[in-house]
Amino acid sequence: MTKRCRLGVLVSGNGSNLQAILDACGAKDFPAQVQLVISNKAEAFALERARKKGVAASVVSHRDFPSRESFEDRLIAALEDAKVDLVILAGFMRVLSPRFVRHFAGRILNVHPALLPSFPGTHAIEQAWNYGVRVTGVTVHVVDEGTDTGPIILQEPVVLDAKETLESLEEKIHSVEHRLFPEAIRLFAEGRLKFEGRRAHIGEHA
């Protein structure tokens, strides 16, 4: 295999999407590896998930810095020191500044629990549930300077059945996230993504 794409993963909580990515990276044919996991919260269980896989994990708390700029400077330095090729937002509950996004332009991926552009921002599953949609889903997209506005890489619908509850819908959404996010990372790592404006084209191996 050629050199693996080096991932830097930013997390804030439980880290179930991180776990899915770590598990995918365990396959011999997967073209990426998690190089570093950073959480802004020391109590995040995601850190334990990383350490169990032997992945470097550290805490960079936003509360320890006088400004968002100085906090993000520390994140950028840590990611650059780890020589990451791609930044992954796996439940990172901080809004990144345009300055941070520009630093890693085109190299930040996020998973969103709705079919963008519907229900952007936080609590998307609950928003969709309260709205009474029949179909929602999952989107993996490139992060740009807006809120969930970057080019879409992959989407998959999730149909609500007649007996759906908010809890069962959350389980369905997370199950799709855990499959779709690693697949988008694979596409990036294999050099198969080409962008024309907002459109992402998926091609053969680079």
CA 190 to CA 184: how far, in whole Å? 10
**H-type alpha helices, 26-136:** 45-52, 68-81, 98-103, 124-131
Active site residue 62: no
Residue owning tokens 């693996």 = 4
**Alpha helix stretches (DSSP H) within 143-165:** none
Distance CA 185, CA 17 (A): 12
Give the active site residue among 112, 123, 178, 201.
Answer: 112
- Single-letter amino acid, residue 79: L
Token pair belonging to 206 = 């680079």
Q: Which residues pair with 38 in a beta bridge?
A: 10, 58
- List active site positions: 112
